[in-house]
Amino acid sequence: MVFLGFLLVAAAITVGAGVVMDNTGPADLVVFGQAVPGLDSEWQVFLSGAGVALVFLSGVALAFKGAVRRIRTRRDLRDLREEHEESLTTLEMEKRRLERELARVRQSPPRRDTAPREPAVQGARVAGRSPGGRSQAAASSFFDRTE
């Protein structure tokens, strides 16, 4: 869009410069050495100049909009890049912290003062009985036979 705007601006400037350089009479419109047919009064020459000015302003507007869009896109990309780098830094710090914690846990000796725990079973457990109501000896003999 910026290129199209600059192209329109260049075309308007070229046509305007050609009109100014080649016109000697008050009502003749000559562009690049060629007389423009149908333009023989001053108001027609004025309107054609207004048309060239309109093309010029359209080109400037297009170039400006394109430049603003490009600047906004670059700014958004820069912000996203910074946010990505910040999240990577945060993740790396968290990884280092977890690695230090893991190394500390691996280096510490196991605790001797606590007895190993039995897994928690839902429901009440009667001494010598499994949760299903069978005695532990009966349950173990059942599993020994099925192997």
At 75-121, the pLDDT tens digits run: 999 999 999 999 999 999 999 999 999 999 999 877 666 666 666 55
What is the biggest distance separating any 2 CA atoms in the chain, rounded to whole angstroms?
124
Model confidence, pTM: 0.44
What DSSP element (H or E) covers 59?
helix 42-107
Other C-beta atoms lying within 10 Å of the C-beta of residue 37 = 7
| Tens-digit pLDDT profile for residues 134-144 | 555 555 555 55
Nearest-angstrom CA–CA distance, 77 and 73: 6
